[in-house]
Amino acid sequence: MTGQTRDELVETAEPGLGQTLTGPLAGRPAWLVTDGKAGHEAQAEGVAVALGLRYSWMRVSPTGLARLLAPWGPAGRGFRPEPPWPAIVIGVGRTAIPALREVRRRAGLSTFSVVLQDPRTSANVADLIWVPEHDRRRGRNVMATLTPPNRFSAEVLEAARAAPQSDIATLPSPLVMLAIGGVSKVWRYTGDDIARLAAAVTALAAQGASFLVTPSRRTPPAVVDAVASALAPFPHLIWRGEGENPYLRYLACADAIVVTADSVSMTGEAVSTGRPVYVFRPSGGSDKFRRFHDALVSVGVTRPLEPATVLDVAWSYPPLRSAEMIAREIERRWASRARFLGPAMHGH
């Protein structure tokens, strides 16, 4: 044996707020195969919600050589998916690929398969592969969008905006959300970076903006402390990890958003609002990150943030909601195959 996979099929989520209930896959069952990473699950759920699916989580945790070999090798000892098969299976991440491949092998043509992110294996692993445009992979069954899919549909954002906001309501407009990422393999926050971010935040606040600040688990304490100190004389709220995370509320209510360049997912969530988005770039990065951010600037979706930036909350753009674009492509390809196969695709 090459290792073991612990798998978990958890409770089905019924179609709900923000889900499309009129498409060809609406109400049909789906399995979302992930390794449990929050970012992976946000992408899978975003697409499932946009399709209106009844989805169940299949969380897999390869161990030993099975993990090292992924996306190659077997799904692992103990992984035995059984019917009834879902209409669609969506896998995210390298370690989910062996499990998705096993589902596809057993279910056959009755289950349409989707991989989100480059599986780093043959294109034959799924019926459709999604990659962000800053990845190089292309092919007959590959689609690309500027941003990754997420859970924040227009309906979800509107519901969050309409809910009572007693804390936010006390702040004067315009409201600027500051979503701070943190260090990673290719990004770092030097002393100069921290000082530059603090200066930029101070400058926007001095122009009359109130701030809604949400750091992440990766955010260095020195960054949070510097931002808090910079905003001390101005109206603001800072979430420091206690109580419910206000990220969605802040995102929905903000008149403009500042996001750090180290997070592709947070940038994608910001531009799904259609609101002005300013991107602060700390030290580091990579070619992929540069392609991603340069593309967003080139289409007028984001602008760079520097200490000299003048706040403009009047510019806008059509929201980039990649989950919906991916869902429509899945529906198109699924319907085409259903017409070709006939009864073999029905019964879900």
Domains located in the chain, CATH noted: 4-150+323-345 (3.40.50), 154-304 (3.40.50.2000)
> What integer pLDDT is reported at residue 72 of this predicted model?
79
Q: What is the pLDDT along the chain (348 residues), one digit of tens a residue?
A: 233 334 444 545 555 444 446 789 999 999 999 988 889 999 999 999 999 999 999 988 766 666 666 677 777 666 789 999 999 999 998 889 999 999 999 999 999 999 999 998 989 999 999 999 999 999 999 999 999 999 999 999 999 999 999 999 999 999 999 999 999 999 999 999 999 999 999 999 999 999 999 999 999 999 999 999 999 999 999 999 888 999 999 999 999 999 999 999 999 999 999 999 999 999 999 999 999 999 999 999 999 999 999 999 999 999 999 999 999 999 999 999 888 776 555 545
> What integer pLDDT is reported at residue 71 of this predicted model?
76
> What integer pLDDT is reported at residue 2 of this predicted model?
33
> Pairing relation of β-strands 283-284 and 187-188?
antiparallel
> What integer pLDDT is reported at residue 339 of this predicted model?
82
pTM: 0.89
> What integer pLDDT is reported at residue 7 of this predicted model?
45
The residue to which tokens 């294109």 are assigned: 123
> What integer pLDDT is reported at residue 73 of this predicted model?
73
> What integer pLDDT is reported at residue 22 of this predicted model?
76
Nearest-angstrom CA–CA distance, 205 and 210: 6
Nearest-angstrom CA–CA distance, 116 and 90: 7
